[in-house]
Amino acid sequence: MAEIDRHRLARDVAEFLKLRGYSYREACFVWPALNVAMLSRACSGQVLSAGNLLALCRAFALNPFDYLAAEKAPSNPAVTEIGSRETRSRDHGGRG
Protein backbone atom coordinates (compact mmCIF):
# COMPACT_ATOMS: atom_id res chain seq x y z
CA MET A 1 0.00 0.00 0.00
CA ALA A 2 1.26 3.49 -0.81
CA GLU A 3 2.10 5.76 2.11
CA ILE A 4 2.74 9.45 2.60
CA ASP A 5 6.16 10.46 3.91
CA ARG A 6 4.71 12.53 6.75
CA HIS A 7 8.11 13.36 8.21
CA ARG A 8 9.30 14.91 4.95
CA LEU A 9 6.02 16.80 4.60
CA ALA A 10 6.33 18.07 8.19
CA ARG A 11 9.86 19.30 7.56
CA ASP A 12 8.94 21.04 4.30
CA VAL A 13 5.80 22.72 5.66
CA ALA A 14 7.59 23.95 8.79
CA GLU A 15 10.47 25.24 6.67
CA PHE A 16 8.06 27.00 4.29
CA LEU A 17 6.38 28.80 7.19
CA LYS A 18 9.67 29.64 8.91
CA LEU A 19 11.27 31.10 5.77
CA ARG A 20 8.28 33.41 5.31
CA GLY A 21 7.93 34.21 8.99
CA TYR A 22 4.30 33.02 9.12
CA SER A 23 2.53 31.64 12.15
CA TYR A 24 -0.21 29.10 11.52
CA ARG A 25 -2.84 31.84 11.90
CA GLU A 26 -1.05 34.18 9.51
CA ALA A 27 -0.74 31.42 6.92
CA CYS A 28 -4.47 30.71 7.23
CA PHE A 29 -5.19 34.39 6.61
CA VAL A 30 -3.08 34.33 3.43
CA TRP A 31 -4.46 30.94 2.29
CA PRO A 32 -8.11 30.65 3.43
CA ALA A 33 -8.31 26.98 2.35
CA LEU A 34 -5.96 26.11 5.22
CA ASN A 35 -6.74 26.01 8.93
CA VAL A 36 -4.66 26.00 12.09
CA ALA A 37 -5.45 22.38 12.97
CA MET A 38 -4.41 21.20 9.50
CA LEU A 39 -1.09 23.04 9.71
CA SER A 40 -0.49 21.74 13.22
CA ARG A 41 -1.10 18.15 12.09
CA ALA A 42 1.10 18.60 9.03
CA CYS A 43 4.00 20.08 11.01
CA SER A 44 3.84 17.37 13.67
CA GLY A 45 3.83 14.51 11.15
CA GLN A 46 0.28 13.40 11.80
CA VAL A 47 -2.02 11.90 9.18
CA LEU A 48 -3.81 14.35 6.89
CA SER A 49 -6.80 13.52 4.75
CA ALA A 50 -6.12 13.36 1.02
CA GLY A 51 -8.10 16.57 0.51
CA ASN A 52 -6.15 18.45 3.17
CA LEU A 53 -2.84 17.21 1.79
CA LEU A 54 -3.79 18.46 -1.68
CA ALA A 55 -5.04 21.81 -0.35
CA LEU A 56 -1.79 22.29 1.56
CA CYS A 57 0.33 21.37 -1.45
CA ARG A 58 -1.64 23.74 -3.68
CA ALA A 59 -1.31 26.63 -1.23
CA PHE A 60 2.43 26.17 -0.72
CA ALA A 61 3.17 25.15 -4.35
CA LEU A 62 4.39 21.70 -3.27
CA ASN A 63 4.13 18.61 -5.46
CA PRO A 64 2.07 16.00 -3.57
CA PHE A 65 3.82 13.21 -5.47
CA ASP A 66 7.08 14.24 -3.79
CA TYR A 67 5.60 12.86 -0.56
CA LEU A 68 4.51 9.52 -1.94
CA ALA A 69 6.72 6.99 -0.19
CA ALA A 70 7.78 3.74 -1.81
CA GLU A 71 5.31 0.95 -1.31
CA LYS A 72 6.02 -1.25 1.66
CA ALA A 73 5.58 -4.99 1.86
CA PRO A 74 2.48 -6.16 3.71
CA SER A 75 3.00 -5.99 7.44
CA ASN A 76 0.48 -8.69 8.32
CA PRO A 77 2.50 -11.43 10.05
CA ALA A 78 -0.30 -13.93 9.41
CA VAL A 79 0.37 -13.71 5.68
CA THR A 80 3.27 -15.87 4.63
CA GLU A 81 5.00 -16.28 1.32
CA ILE A 82 3.87 -19.25 -0.70
CA GLY A 83 6.73 -21.61 -1.31
CA SER A 84 7.41 -25.23 -1.98
CA ARG A 85 6.84 -27.56 0.93
CA GLU A 86 8.18 -30.94 1.67
CA THR A 87 5.64 -33.55 2.59
CA ARG A 88 6.22 -37.02 3.82
CA SER A 89 4.70 -39.84 1.95
CA ARG A 90 2.38 -41.81 4.20
CA ASP A 91 1.31 -45.38 3.82
CA HIS A 92 -2.47 -45.13 3.85
CA GLY A 93 -2.95 -48.83 4.24
CA GLY A 94 -3.63 -49.56 0.62
CA ARG A 95 -5.75 -46.49 -0.04
CA GLY A 96 -4.64 -44.42 -3.06
User: Is the distance from CB of 21 to CB of 60 less than 8 angstroms?
Assistant: no
> Which phi and psi (to 5°) does residue 87 adopt?
-125, 150
- Is 8 or 78 the better-scoring residue by pLDDT? 8
pTM over 0.75: no
Q: Residue 2: what pLDDT?
A: 84
**Cα(71)–Cα(59) distance, integer angstroms:** 27
| pLDDT of 87 over the 60 cut | no
Chain centroid to Cα 11, Å, comes to 14
Task: Give the domains, in start order, of the chain with CATH numbers.
Answer: 3-65 (1.10.260.40)
Element housing 19 (H / E): helix 6-20
